[in-house]
Amino acid sequence: MAEHLLTQAQHGGALRATVGDDVLLRLPENPTTGYRWELAVPPGLSLLADEQVPAGSAPGGGGERVLRLRAIAPGCHAVNAALRRAWAPDDTPPSSFSATLEVT
């Protein structure tokens, strides 16, 4: 089992993995703004963890949303996330992320 990393730098790209591999999706996030990354987990992937990791100890500072996914079925899986406010889900997100995970 291997671990792969996806960041905002891989937006629009593709990653190859094997069934059983983990994928860490790390995206910049500042929860004090009310925006949080929402991930649409496709069939073939399983969400194992979702946590906000602060960049430092200063109150109100930014950080990262870290999502751990596991490849559980072969195929081409679209990994899509949008930065949204929970109380305004229909607003156009100020940022989004997408990548293709090719699992063998």
Interval 61-96: pLDDT, tens: 788 999 999 999 999 999 999 999 888 878 888 889
* pLDDT score of 60 more than 90: no
* Higher pLDDT pick, 61 / 24: 24
* pLDDT score of 58 more than 90: no
* pLDDT score of 26 more than 80: yes
Residue range of the domain that includes 29: 3-103
CA-based R_g, the chain, Å? 14
Number of folded domains that form the chain: 1
**Residue 67: helix, strand or coil by DSSP?**
strand
Q: Model pTM greater than 0.75?
A: yes
CATH code assigned at 43: 2.60.40.2020
pLDDT band with cut points at 50, 70 and 90 for residue 1:
confident
What is the mean pLDDT of the segment spanning 16-43? 93
Q: What is the mean pLDDT of the chain?
A: 91
pLDDT at residue 88, rounded to an integer = 81
